[in-house]
């Protein structure tokens, strides 16, 4: 077995082994430490893919220039979230919201979730990828309901039902792709292998591919959180543990987006199939504008940023729908910046809700005075997610808008309109929460600021300077996406 295959095996097997151990460990400190260590080792395995030769695609596993972006981002945010989780869950244990059995379950499911997401990214088989996405979804459903309150169970049930509808649609689309490939490739697993499908896509029945993509976009779009398929997302964010909110916004939405991009490439390889771009543009714009208005009506701080995630996934899907080197580059950059920024915001919000004893925005005031570390972290995060310079999201949004103006000026009008509406809502909420008359709890909180500020530092650095190797890498991936 070559070194690259060892790296891929480590990315998959480390979370599995850690999950088995964590399910048996009753001690919180040991389990939290093992969760962090396993996440860190998985990140190292992912980074090693940069310095070793890429493995040749197999029947089930694939590492290429596209999925390595997602793998490294996934393992990095998974690691930093595990560090944040250690201090967050410790507080939940002290207050009695979680018990020892809950903690064993939580940490084990965290690693199973990481395994599911990583498997989805490295899958070279459309059926295996579907199974991996479903596994990641089911683990997060279980973790959303971990508090066992009426609201948490209701949110988990809604997530399960809507997620099941979405994954069923995605399964039907996957079957249709197999049916389109079978007459050309033959029966068996070859008709489900990505690399084979891409090579032969020009010979597939375009009508079957067209119908398949509609089902796949709706199915995986439910997981992306695109309007009007988004209803599960705000409840899941609001009622589940905050580390899971960070993972949902920062990672799990990207897993479904990755699946959509793979199938978009498949349609692009078939000259007679419909162009997937207009469908993605329409759903992206709808999500952006809908979420932007909904931001004004949120009274719960976690729901507020859940709708912000819907908004930004709309921007990303819009950019990839527009296509072309510049828009794809902007979509990739925006995806990375959103994952880093939104997870940092949830790191702050998690501890804020703990110290204030509430998630109601009206009861949280004057954070920069009562808890400067958390307050200013939230300020920087909101300024970043709102798209203000010199932070990274400003650069990615500027590229999305400029590429749209250059190619489809009329589409730039609703795009900029949605961005401005969301900008106003976020700044309106931030003013009172961060700078108003102090209200709510003032007790100090034992928090790890390193994950939050390390993410924000990366976002700030990206807004000022992007290293040439990173730009070249993203340009190459943008070209692959077409």
For residues 265 and 208, what is the distance between their CA atoms, to the nearest angstrom? 15
For CA atoms 12, 16, 21, 25, the dihedral sign is: positive
For residues 183 and 36, what is the distance between their CA atoms, to the nearest angstrom? 48
The torsion angle over the Cα atoms of residues 457, 458, 459 and 462, rounded to 10 degrees, is 120
For residues 299 and 342, what is the distance between their CA atoms, to the nearest angstrom? 18
Q: How many residues does the chain have?
A: 482
Instruction: Give me the pLDDT at residue 203, please.
Output: 87
**Average of per-residue pLDDT across 141-147:** 87
Q: Which of 382, 373, 292, 389 is nearest to 346 (CA)?
A: 382
The residue assigned the tokens 């925006």 is: 334
Q: How many CB atoms lie within 10 A of CB 23?
A: 15
In the chain, where are the structural domains located? 275-482
Instruction: Give me the pLDDT at residue 83, please.
Output: 92
For residues 385 and 383, what is the distance between their CA atoms, to the nearest angstrom? 6
Angle at 466 between CA 462 and CA 468, to 5 degrees: 165
Checking if the pLDDT of 3 tops 50, the result is: no
Dihedral pair phi/psi, residue 364, rounded to 5°: -115, 115
Residue 93 vs residue 71, higher pLDDT: 71
Checking if the pLDDT of 288 tops 90, the result is: yes
Dihedral pair phi/psi, residue 228, rounded to 5°: -95, 30
For residues 365 and 439, what is the distance between their CA atoms, to the nearest angstrom? 5
Taking only the tens place, the pLDDT of each residue in 429-458 is 888 888 877 776 666 666 678 899 999 999
pTM score, whole prediction: 0.92
Q: Which of 85, 89, 103 is nearest to 452 (CA)?
A: 85
Give every CB contact of residue 305 below 8 A, 6+ residues apart in sequence.
Answer: 237, 245, 249, 342, 345, 346, 349, 385
Instruction: Give me the pLDDT at residue 4, please.
Output: 45
Three-state DSSP at 300 gives strand
Give every CB contact of residue 231 below 8 A, 6+ residues apart in sequence.
Answer: 158, 162
Checking if the pLDDT of 64 tops 70, the result is: yes
For residues 468 and 464, what is the distance between their CA atoms, to the nearest angstrom? 13
**Average of per-residue pLDDT across 331-337:** 93
Query: Do residues 184 and 202 touch, judged by C-beta distance below 8 A?
Result: no
* SS3 readout for 338-364: HHHHHHHHHHHHHHHHHHHCCCEHHHC
């Amino acid at each position: 077995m070559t070194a690259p295959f060892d790296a891929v095996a480590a990315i998959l097997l480390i979370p599995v082994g850690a999950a088995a151990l964590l399910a048996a460990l009753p001690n919180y400190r040991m389990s939290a430490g093992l969760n962090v260590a396993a996440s860190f080792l998985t990140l190292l395995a992912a980074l090693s893919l940069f310095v070793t030769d890429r493995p040749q695609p197999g029947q089930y596993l694939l590492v290429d220039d596209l999925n390595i972006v997602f793998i490294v981002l996934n393992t990095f945010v998974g690691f930093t979230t595990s560090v944040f989780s250690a201090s967050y869950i410790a507080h939940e244990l002290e207050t009695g919201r979680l018990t020892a059995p809950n903690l064993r379950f939580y940490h084990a499911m965290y690693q199973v979730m990481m395994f599911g997401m990583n498997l989805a990214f490295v899958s070279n088989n459309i059926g295996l990828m579907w199974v991996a996405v479903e596994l990641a979804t089911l683990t997060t459903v279980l973790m959303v309901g971990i508090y066992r309150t009426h609201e948490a169970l209701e949110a988990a049930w809604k997530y399960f039902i809507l997620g099941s509808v979405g994954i069923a649609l995605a399964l039907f689309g996957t079957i249709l792709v197999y049916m389109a490939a079978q007459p050309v490739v033959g029966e068996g697993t070859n008709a489900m292998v990505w690399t084979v499908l891409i090579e032969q896509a020009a010979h597939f029945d375009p009508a079957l591919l067209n119908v398949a993509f509609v089902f796949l976009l709706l199915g995986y779009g439910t997981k992306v959180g695109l309007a009007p398929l988004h209803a599960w997302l705000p409840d899941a964010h609001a009622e589940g543990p905050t580390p899971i909110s960070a993972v949902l916004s920062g990672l799990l939405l990207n897993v479904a987006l990755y699946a959509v991009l793979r199938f978009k490439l498949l349609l692009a390889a078939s000259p007679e199939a419909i162009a997937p771009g207009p469908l993605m543009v329409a759903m992206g714009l709808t999500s952006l504008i809908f979420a932007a208005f909904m931001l004004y009506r949120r009274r719960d701080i976690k729901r507020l940023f859940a709708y912000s995630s819907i908004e930004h996934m709309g921007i990303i899907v819009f950019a990839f729908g527009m296509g072309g080197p510049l828009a794809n580059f902007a979509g990739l950059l925006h995806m990375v910046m959103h994952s880093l920024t939104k997870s940092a915001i949830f790191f702050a919000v998690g501890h804020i809700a703990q110290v204030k004893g509430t998630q109601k925005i009206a009861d949280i005031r004057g954070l920069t005075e009562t808890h400067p570390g958390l307050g200013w972290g939230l300020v920087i995060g909101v300024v970043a997610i709102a798209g203000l310079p010199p932070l990274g999201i400003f650069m990615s949004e500027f590229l999305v808008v400029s590429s749209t103006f250059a190619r489809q000026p009329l589409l730039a009008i609703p795009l900029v309109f949605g961005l401005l509406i969301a900008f106003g809502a976020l700044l309106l909420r931030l003013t009172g929460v961060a700078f108003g008359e102090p209200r709510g709890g003032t007790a100090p909180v034992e928090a790890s600021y390193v994950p939050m500020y390390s993410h924000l530092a990366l976002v700030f650095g990206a807004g000022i300077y992007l290293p040439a190797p990173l730009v070249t890498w993203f340009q190459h991936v943008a070209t692959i996406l077409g």
